[in-house]
Structure 1
Amino acid sequence: MNLHCIYHVLHRRRRVVLMLTLRKYLYIVLCVSVVLIVYKVICFKYKITSGYSSYVNMTNRRGRIIYSNEDVYMAIKQIRFNNCLNKYANDICADLQSCESFSELKTLEGCDNTIQCRSRINETKAVNLNLKKCKRRLPGAIIIGTYKSGTRELIDFLAMNPLVVIKRQPNYEVAYFDKNADKGLDWYRNAMPFSCERQITIEKSPSYFTSLEAPRRIHKMDKNIKLILIVRNPSDRTLSHLTYEHFIIKEQFKNDIHNCLYKYTFNRRIINENCFAVKDSFYDSAMERFLKYFSSEQIHIIDADAFLKNPCDIVKDVEHFLQIDTFINCDNFFRNNDTGFVCAKTNRTDLGFCYEKTRGRVKLQSKFPVMKMDLQKLFKSHNERFFSLVGKRFDW
């Protein structure tokens, strides 16, 4: 009897132990499942994905995106220095970087008279005492247009090449050859950043392309200069330009953007060709003015749609056009699927750096019930003439 009781007690205890063990494993499996679910949610929320088949697959499941125009360029500065170290000796890269610091010094000289400010200035001056070849130079290339076609992204991404120095402080656009020519060439040179002998300075002013005087004035400064033109579907560019200027010109057009885009003739609504955004989309007449002074070999034309889809290859093409050493690495580009725009990514961080979400204003554009077919009809003959002038066609 006692043995029988002992057997039942042991058997019951074994069952209890087995149940506790199973419960323990079930609890572990449940915890692991929860962790995996949370991990997938976080990855979905912060994933960074490359949208280009020619790029390395850059789905970054642990990364996140920072939306800041200034941080984009800070990332590009890190990329350009790393690119330099991959090809040049340390001392050459140090000289190039020191010359850029000298440009920052000139900007800092206007800062508040704080200890930190003075310390930074003195430190930069000490570094640059012997940089006699570091000076302001006139541009060797100019991005002449067009408005709302990606000129900001183009010039920033070109700066990934350490041999390219871009004009960006305090403002990107100088507009010297159309709006400030009376200030003289010395003023223009002083508006440029410092650069070394082996570097090329590039500025962008999209207003040059539609200017009546800019082609002649640019040619007078340097008849051998290289020009870069990025063009976008004229109908899309017109709407984008109107959207961008919407808040600036509201009062001028009685709070209705359509008062610029349209006019009425005999009670019939037609496109107003004198509207600034429409006038800037007649590429044929603008191109003809530039070809009067420059050969087609001096003007590198970029399709804005192609640049949006594959900026890496487009920027590489510009490197070849400028006849400089190539540095651009496709691993430093990725598409932000939330905005549709291209962003920068360094090799040493999981962070992606993108322009602020307001860039592009796609949602705002949709608020204007503009008849795109009217614009396409208006621009059709002008587009054909432009294709004939440049010797290539675009899908407009």
Structure 2
Amino acid sequence: MSGFKGLAVPGPTNMPFEIRRAMDVALEDHRAPDFPDFIKPLLADLKKVFQTETGQVFVFPGSGTGGWESAIANTLAPGDTVLASIFGQFSYLWVDMCRKFGLNVDAIECEWGTGVPADLYEQKLAADKEHKIKAVLVTQNETATGVTSDVKAVREALDRTGHPALLFVDGVSSIGSIDFRQDEWGVDVAVSGSQKGFMLPTGLAIVGVSRKALAHRPEGGLPRCFFDYQDMAKTNADGFFPYTPATTLLRGLRASLDMIFDEGLENIFARHHRLAEGVRRAVDAWGMSLCAKEAKWNSDTVSAIVVPEGYNANDVIQTAYHKYDLSLGAGLSKVAGKVFRIGHLGYLNEIMVLQALGGAELAMRDVGLPFTPGVGVGAAVEYYAATGQAEALAAQ
């Protein structure tokens, strides 16, 4: 089929031509004497995206999963207790990794479509008088269900109970797209990846680490080598890495940061909210619902759309891909076959969202879902037109 393929999954996201061009370079010497002139400003600018002045941001070759592993291996010891909650596939996978590392996980099972239960966290933290809980896990954006949780509320629970546990945040599909404030929210380790808000190919685990976490080396801790924060901090200080870095991706990351700063973080957060709201208006017009149970959980980076009873969401996904060259996100685990997902993050504007909605409507019509073709796209068009006019007037 001629034309571009549509990519509407929540990662990898669409890659700007500016980033492609930045990576279309000859391979370089990562031990060259002028390499630090490139790396030091790059790492300093990453701190601005994480909104930290006191912490450090490390870049490992890998994915978000590698970033999770780094958080565990550098700060915890076998048998340590961590507090977590499961409300989607990715929050589950983080818990599963902790168990594989021999940690004692107090995992709160939540309804899928809800998020982190900050009130229950506070109850458990208050009851933990001996401070056996060593880390608290928060998935800021559960990509499988399109749910965003309140990281600040968890920090406040830690503060009210006077609990010293480390705060870990999975920000893979939120950092760079949804408001995240590492210093203000007292986050000790924040994990992201290159293929979401940073608009790059998969291949970099980008991890923000607080001073507290960097200094935390528990006796009898887990083994670490590739993901060792101390080794990375020591060599990064001189503008190098303890092993061969993914230099081509780092060149793309430089272009990504330039684009982020040119738009401005606050404008990026507002753009993501506006684009996401257009998708939500479309879903409502279709007479369908989101997996997110309440508006307070709605994600601004991905919407998981529940198909009507008696229909299989995978039929929509397969039809969209094979007939219309559009990739939609599949439902995972408990919501497999029940939802299809539209990713709306990264390098994105109104017409790209409308393309995804139009393609979804074509596929839904073909598989017989009950809706009126055009109503979803129309609702999004009306919303974008009205809010675009409001923004134009405000700028005058």
Q: TM-score, normalised by structure 2?
A: 0.27
Which has more radius of gyration?
A: 1
Q: TM-score, normalised by structure 1?
A: 0.27
Higher helix share: 1
